[in-house]
Every structure is written in C-alpha cells, then in structure tokens.
Structure 1
Amino acid sequence: MNNTQEPFALLSAIAQRSAESAAGLPAQQDIQTYWSGVGFTLGGVKMVAPMAEVAEMLVLPEVTRMPGVQPWVKGVANVRGRLLPLIDLNQFFDGDKVTTSRERRVLVVEKGELYTGLVVDKVFGMQHFPADNFADEIVEDAAEFSEFLVGSYIVNNEAWAVFSPFLLAADGHFSNAAAS
C-alpha cells in the first residue's frame, strides 16, 4: 500500500510546485466592439459601406454599352452568368466623366430584385472601426453625398464617411436609368 501512495504523493508534489510557479492570469480588459465595412474612395473622399450592403467586390469587368440610358450607366457585364448593370458613381454624382484607372473597382449590391454594380475609384477592402468612434455628423468633404450617408468614423484623425448603397438604391433618380 505504501507503493501506491508514493506515486500519488509525487504527483501531488509536482502539482503543488507547478501551482506555486504559475504566472497569474492577466488583468481582464474591456472588450471593444468593432463595426466592419468595405472601404473605398469616391471623388477623393474616403468612404465605407456596411458589410451587409455589399454582396461582393469585383475588378471592373468588360462592359457592354446600352443605348437609351443615362450617361452614368456604364452598361452591363456578364458576371458568372448574370447580367450586372454597372453604375459609375462619379458620373452619377457630378456628371464628370472619370478617366479609366486600374484601381477602379465594383461594389456589387444585391437587395431583393436589385442586382447592380457601383463603380468606385478604389477599394481598400474590409475596414474595422471601434463602434464608439461613430459620429452622426457628415464629413465636410463628403457633403455632396450627404443624402446617402449615415454618419462617419474618425480613426487616427482620418474621417471615413459611412455610405449606404441601400439608400442610394431607394433613390428615384438612381432607379430611373432611362435617358430623358
């Protein structure tokens, strides 16, 4: 019986020494929540669209022009067997024709029957912002887009306007792409 106590006593001693030399748990820190969106630029303004409102991001595909539409409608593209109307947001907002750039990308918006691509200047990918950095104020540089903005995030003295593609999709001018 003494032999069975010896291994147990040895294990108990090892456990005791381990507990004495173990480092304590780190102090509990407050968990910060983050808001995520897709970062992009439009007319030189940094913006971010909610993740829930962007179905995917694409490199600008080959476009087939369409007759009888507004000049800001670039045309349609075949994306995996679906016709994706492409809207040049720079032209939609200020009418200026933007030069083609290799950095231009498409944010695909899909909501109910709506399936469209918004052509933007550049996409930064997924951006994460501390949720408590949200402000209802519209960034001054983004005033021309204010109808479709829901606020902004300011991180490292850099403002990101929160752009809602769903608000844009609900706009009557946007949904009427026929040339007048």
Structure 2
Amino acid sequence: MGQAFTAFEMLLDIDQRCRQLANELPSQEARLQTWSGIGFGLAGQWYVAPMGEVAEVLHEPHLTRMPGVKAWVLGVANLRGRLLPVMDLCGLFGQEPSSLRKQRRVLVVDHGDLFVGLLVDEVLGLQHFALHSLDLSPPAYLQEGTAPYIQGHFHREQDWRVFSPLALVQAPGFINVAL
C-alpha cells in the first residue's frame, strides 16, 4: 500500500506539478498582442473599425425620411426611444451602395453627444490582427474622401483599412447635413 498524504502535502504536490508544467508555457511577454475591430465592406473594399468606436451593429432599420438634407442622409430611426440619424457611407464618399440589401448593416456610433448610424454594405464580424503588423502608411488605394479617416492598414488576404467612425462623425462637415 502507498503512503498516505495529508491534505497539505497533497496541495504541495499539486503546486509543484503545476509549476513544472507551467515552465513549458510561453511567458506573458511572449504572447502575441492583438488589435481587434469590427470588419465591414464598403464599395468592394474591406475596412475595420476600432472596437471602442462602434457601440453596436444593427440590421438596416425602418427609416423616416427627412426633407432638405443631403442625399447621403437616409433618415432617422427610433432605436429604443432615441432618434438615430442614419447616414449612407457609400453615398457620402460618392460610391454606389451594394445591391444586396439583406447584407447591409448600420454601425452605431454613440460617443458623448454624438449618436449616429453609418450604413455599410456588409459587416464581416470581429477581426483580430497582430498589433505589430499595423502599417501606419496609407494603403495603395483609398476611396475618394476616406483618407482623413484611415489610420493605417493591416494586410491579411488583402488590405484591411483601419477606419475611424469617430473621426468621421467629429469632422466639421459631417454634422452640416442641410442643403
């Protein structure tokens, strides 16, 4: 028969085995740092918005049109008792929106007094990139008007442009929607 261990001796044995096995694991510093964002498509290009800048993603809501506004202002929607102005990003940048209406989504920006929805062609889900692979230089091709809102890009299968919805909605001309 084997030797009987006290509860304390068993805990010491478990601790020792855990420490031995932990030596084979990568250290905290060796883990890859990642950058995460919401991926979306717009006029055939892929973008990713920083996680902290998109409050939620919605299906295209029922909208009430507003008279006397620019064509890219689609209207307002009632989102849980709050009026959400919805803007068409393709229209804003002079592009044709996707003809596949079922794939369109609205990225909601809720920051301070700013509460606005940005209609995109499709949402491609949560995207993760190695932080060290962020290229801060402008990507090879940018859609007209998007440059001030692009904060670099990642390359995985193709370029993912880092698009800042917050920078867009804070731009002086964005709020001025009247004709």
CA contact (8 A) 1:91 1:98 kept: no
Matches of residues 1-180 of structure 1 in structure 2 within 5 Å? 9-11=3-5, 24=21, 25-28=23-26, 30-94=30-94, 96=96, 99=99, 101-144=101-144, 145-155=146-156, 157-179=157-179
**1: CA distance, partners of 2:95 / 2:68:** 17
TM-score if structure 2 supplies the norm length?
Answer: 0.83
**2: CA distance, partners of 1:136 / 1:10:** 63
Question: Residues 44-101 of structure 1: CA distance to partner in whole angstroms, max 9, x if unpaired?
Answer: 1100000111011000000110001000000000111111000000000016465451
Structure 2 gaps of 5+ residues are none
In the superposition, relative to structure 1, how do residues 60 and 69 fare at CA in structure 2: closer, same or farther (>3 Å)? same
| Structure of larger gyration radius | 1
Instruction: Please tell me the root mean square deviation across aligned C-alpha atoms, in Å.
Output: 2.7
Shift of 1:112: 1.3
**2: CA distance, partners of 1:97 / 1:57:** 18
**1: CA distance, partners of 2:97 / 2:124:** 22
Aligned to 1:140, what secondary structure does the other structure show?
Answer: coil
**2: CA distance, partners of 1:51 / 1:109:** 11
Aligned to 1:138, what secondary structure does the other structure show?
Answer: coil
CA contact (8 A) 1:38 1:125 kept: yes
* Alignment length (residue pairs): 169
**2: CA distance, partners of 1:69 / 1:98:** 22
In the superposition, relative to structure 1, how do residues 65 and 143 fare at CA in structure 2: closer, same or farther (>3 Å)? closer
Question: Residues 22-58 of structure 1: CA distance to partner in whole angstroms, max 9, x if unpaired?
Answer: x855252520111111100111110000011101100
In the superposition, relative to structure 1, how do residues 98 and 67 fare at CA in structure 2: closer, same or farther (>3 Å)? farther
TM-score if structure 1 supplies the norm length?
Answer: 0.83
The percentage of aligned residue pairs carrying the same residue is 40
